[in-house]
Amino acid sequence: MDRMLVVVFDAEKKAYEGKKALLQLDGEGSIVVYAYAVVAKDAGGTVTVRQSDDPGPLGSLVGTSLGSLIGLLGGPAGLAIGAAVGLAAGSTVDLSNARVGGDFVDDVSKQLRPNRFAVVAEIQEDWTTPVDTRMEAIGGIVFRRALSEVQDMVDDEDTAAMKADIAQLKAEHAQARTDRKAKLQEKINQLDSKIQARLEKAKEQRQAAEQRAKAKVEILKTKAAALKARAAQAGDVVPD
Q: What are the residues whose beta carbons fall under 8 Å from the beta carbon of 11, sequence distance 6 or more?
A: 117, 139
Mean pLDDT of successive 10-residue stretches along the chain, which has 240 residues:
91 96 91 90 85 53 70 59 37 59 85 94 89 95 78 62 86 88 89 85 73 76 80 66
Cα 65 to Cα 6: distance, rounded to the nearest angstrom:
13
Domain ranges of the chain: 2-148, 150-240
Phi-psi region of 239 (alpha: psi -120 to 50; beta: other; left: phi over 0): beta
- Per residue in 49-106, pLDDT (tens digit) is 887 764 444 445 545 778 778 888 876 444 433 333 334 333 444 556 667 777 888 8
Q: Which are the contacts of 119, defined by CB distance < 8 A and separation ≥ 6?
A: 5, 6, 7, 9, 15, 18, 19, 22, 36, 37, 38, 39, 140
DSSP codes of every residue in 168-214: HHHHHHHHS-HHHHHHHHHHHHHHHHHHHHHHHHHHHHHHHHHHHHH
